[in-house]
Amino acid sequence: MAWLVTGGAGYIGAHIVRAFQADGIDVVVIDDLSSGHAQFVPDGVPFVRGSILDRPLLDRTFAEHTITGVVHVAGFKYAGVSVQRPLHTYEQNVTATVTLLAAMQEAGTDRIVFSSSAAVYGTPHTDLVTEETPKNPESPYGESKLIGEWLLRDQGVATGLAHTSLRYFNVVGSGSPELRDTSPHNLFPLVFDALVEGRTPRINGNDYATPDGTCVRDYIHVADLARSHVAAARRLDAGEPVEAVYNLGSGTGVSVGEIMSTVASVTGIGFEPEIGPRRPGDPDRIVASGELASRDLDWKMRHTLDEMVQSAWTSRQSAAL
């Protein structure tokens, strides 16, 4: 009996794999390594290398392992790039989810936890985003994640699939030094890459309607996030009720300016960030309530901002060794 983690060789998936192991639940990973790393999969975890778009491969995976549920993490996550590559985004995030759900149905696997995103909200006109906040995705990426949620909902009605979708806000930090976010588009890797290469990190705009003029976001630690997937899987295994969606947000905003000064103090590298122009479409502030997830999914912030930056920096440095 195991849970299948799609995208388990990626930044978040690899943390989820470790959280399941720590809780005594066996896992199987499927990943095509399009943005993941084989070395992120722990020794001893069965690793199927290939795409979840490959239906025969999925069928073989379900036949070879007794899989009770799926954490569906695999996806194309670059929201900005998705605007230029809508078909690729829909193929990876929508067609792939349809293929996975069909294989699950065939195999009789009836539990799924889905990696959704804050991007389903677009630019929310509220200080605190709740699950009820209107969904107005502003990129093919955000749209594809919302469609993923609908696919689960509709399969739930049609087949009794037990499901929940977790809308992540800004996932940062590291739970193990060997794991890190290698995205070329996320704030932490961009800042660290600049520092390692001797460039000055840049802030995109400092004239937003926020206390220090820089964008405010909701940063959450990847290991805290991973634990909530275990709690979700446990609830589904026990047949306990779950919400269709949960926000994994901290309720607290941190500005890009504050991130920069924390990075400077944690790394000991003194720098004054360059101020560049605003990026089109960046809202002033996005902060979410994680109240429902706290009630049901053991969700809480177990790490401070310093710890998020420190753990991410440590893993970035071990990668450079």
Contacts with ligand NAD, residue ranges (CB under 6 A): 6-7, 9-13, 30-36, 51-53, 73-75, 77, 92, 96, 115, 117, 168, 170-171
Residue 254: partners with Cβ closer than 8 Å, 6 or more residues away: 216, 217, 218, 219, 305
User: Which C-beta is closer to ligand NAD: that of 9 or that of 162?
Assistant: 9
The answer to whether the CB of 5 falls within 8 A of the CB of 16 is: yes
Which amino acid does the sequence have at 306? D
Helix (H, G, I), strand (E, B) or coil at 17: helix
Q: Which candidate in 11, 90, 121, 141 is catalytic?
A: 141
The answer to whether the CB of 128 falls within 8 A of the CB of 287 is: yes
Which amino acid does the sequence have at 193? D
Min dist CB 239 to ligand NAD, Å, is 26
> 275 φ, ψ to 5°?
-105, 115
User: Which C-beta is closer to ligand NAD: that of 166 or that of 274?
Assistant: 166
Min dist CB 207 to ligand NAD, Å, is 25
Q: Which two tokens stand for residue 135?
A: 């969904």
Annotated catalytic, 141?
A: yes
Helix (H, G, I), strand (E, B) or coil at 213: coil
Q: How many CB atoms lie within 10 A of CB 87?
A: 10
Min dist CB 281 to ligand NAD, Å, is 16
Which amino acid does the sequence have at 280? P
How far apart, in Å, are the Cα atoms of 304 and each of 48, 176, 262, 269, 309? 35, 16, 11, 20, 9
| Residue 74: DSSP 8-state | -
The answer to whether the CB of 288 falls within 8 A of the CB of 128 is: yes
Min dist CB 268 to ligand NAD, Å, is 26
Strands (E), 84-127: 111-117
Min dist CB 49 to ligand NAD, Å, is 9
Min dist CB 303 to ligand NAD, Å, is 15
Q: Which two tokens stand for residue 88?
A: 């690729």
How far apart, in Å, are the Cα atoms of 14 and each of 41, 72, 104, 159? 6, 12, 22, 29
Integer Rg of the chain from CA: 19
User: Which C-beta is closer to ligand NAD: that of 38 or that of 158?
Assistant: 38
User: Which C-beta is closer to ligand NAD: that of 128 or that of 171?
Assistant: 171
Residue numbers annotated as active site? 141
